[in-house]
Structure 1
Amino acid sequence: MSKGEETRQFIIEKAAPIFNVKGIAATSMSDIMEATKLSKGSMYVHFENKEVLACAAVDHNMKVLGDKILMTVGKAKTAKEELFAYIDFFNNPLNPPVIGGCPLLNFGMEADDTNPVVKEKVNGGIRFTQRVLENSINKGIANGEFKPDWNAAEFSTVIFAMLEGGNLISRISGNNDKMKIIVKTLKSIIEENTL
């Protein structure tokens, strides 16, 4: 990696949590300059404007989240363990796996009506996550772990939506009580579909 590429990556890594915590609109280039200790000129050598940097920060946050999900799910020995690992990965929104909380939720809510580029990035992240879940269910059906008539696509939507909703409720309320209910419910559905 060249010196310029290293500096660019350094800026992204410092900016990513700031954007995830404050949001794209509320984050200023001076926030990033303060975090990186770089001058405005140095910043603009690597990113032509805040929007370009914000898109790189969204990508970074989602890659961090995706890598952590894959690492967590990858340790499981069965399809059921994969689903439980995924649920447990998100079971404490007050101590999120990515600084600032789930970037899909954070950036998705901000960008849905205002930023079509970020909206599409988040949509891609949602599709990726649902494919991971669907693949686990289909694997479990194929190896005889799960009922053959379990609809993998539908449950991948349910599990994703319930955990994201629980994330929102927990972060707004400042406690995980509702997430505990969601975790229990999701695991119960999985048990009902386990052979």
Structure 2
Amino acid sequence: MRKGEATRQRIIAEAAPIFNQRGFDGCSMQDLMTATGLEKGGLYRHFANKEDLAAEAFRFALAQNVKVRTEHLDEIPNSINKLKKVVQLFVDLPSAIPGGCPLMNTAIDADDGNPALRDLARKGIQDWRTRLIRIIDTGIKAGEIRRSTEPRRIANTIIATLEGALMISRLENSRTALRDAQSSLDALLTSLERHA
């Protein structure tokens, strides 16, 4: 990796927690300069503007979380168990980037004011939904999940339940809502099992 690209990647990694914790508007150029040790010109040498850096920081943060929460899923042979593991990893593992779930943070932060970040958050949800649908479809084809199961509906239920429980858990400073969500989702997933 060339020096310029290495510097760019370092800036992204150092900016990601700041954007994730403070949001786009709450993150000043001074915050970014302090975190990276670069002057404004040094930052703009690598990024067109603050929005460009925020987009890259979001992509980085989301990729880190996806990696942590999907590693070794391929080693789990049964689709129901794989889905339960997805839920467990979300509940048990904190965000790989300080500040919580970058997908939820960015979706809320960018909902009214930043179309580029909002589109990235929407794509993040779509990608997550697609990964879950793929697992469910595989389970249906393998005869592990009932054929009457609607993959999109189950995927949306998993995502909405986990993200909602995360929000409650953060507000209450307690993991109870996450544990409750896991219990409910495990029961839902068990109910989808196809019995011979």
TM-score (norm 2): 0.93
Task: After superposition, give the CA deviation of every residue in 1:118-142 in whole Å (9 maximum; x if it has no partner).
Answer: 1111111101001111111111111
1:91 counterpart = 2:91:
yes
CA distance in 1, matches of 2:2, 2:8: 10
2:156 corresponds in structure 1 to 157
My pick for the range that moved more, 70-79 or 179-188, is 70-79
The answer to whether the 8 A contact 1:19-1:27 is kept is: yes
Q: Residue type matched to 2:115 in 1?
A: P
Moved over 4 A (4+): none
Instruction: Please state how far the C-alpha of 1:72 moved relative to its aligned partner.
Output: 4.4
CA distance in 1, matches of 2:21, 2:74: 28
The answer to whether the 8 A contact 2:21-2:99 is kept is: yes
User: What 5-or-longer segments of structure 2 have no aligned partner?
Assistant: none
SS at match of 1:48: coil
1:101 counterpart = 2:100:
yes
Aligned positions of 1:42-81 closer than 5 A: 42-81=42-81
Aligned positions of 1:111-130 closer than 5 A: 111-130=110-129
Task: After superposition, give the CA deviation of every residue in 1:60-80 in whole Å (9 maximum; x if it has no partner).
Answer: 112212222332433322211
My pick for the range that moved more, 68-77 or 176-185, is 68-77
Q: How many residues align?
A: 194
The answer to whether the 8 A contact 2:61-2:96 is kept is: no
1:184 corresponds in structure 2 to 183
SS at match of 1:47: coil
2:11 corresponds in structure 1 to 11
The answer to whether the 8 A contact 2:133-2:152 is kept is: yes
Distance 1:183 1:155, change over 3 A: same
1:22 corresponds in structure 2 to 22
Instruction: Please state how far the C-alpha of 1:160 moved relative to its aligned partner.
Output: 0.5
Same amino acid, percent of matched pairs:
33
CA distance in 2, matches of 1:103, 1:152: 25
| Aligned-residue RMSD, C-alpha | 1.4
User: What 5-or-longer segments of structure 1 have no aligned partner?
Assistant: none
Distance 1:75 1:97, change over 3 A: farther
1:170 corresponds in structure 2 to 169
Q: Residue type matched to 1:164 in 2?
A: E
The answer to whether the 8 A contact 1:72-1:85 is kept is: no
CA distance in 2, matches of 1:82, 1:47: 39
Task: After superposition, give the CA deviation of every residue in 1:29-78 in whole Å (9 maximum; x if it has no partner).
Answer: 11121111122221121123211111111111122122223324333222
Task: After superposition, give the CA deviation of every residue in 1:80-101 in whole Å (9 maximum; x if it has no partner).
Answer: 12101110111147x3343211
CA distance in 1, matches of 2:92, 2:31: 28
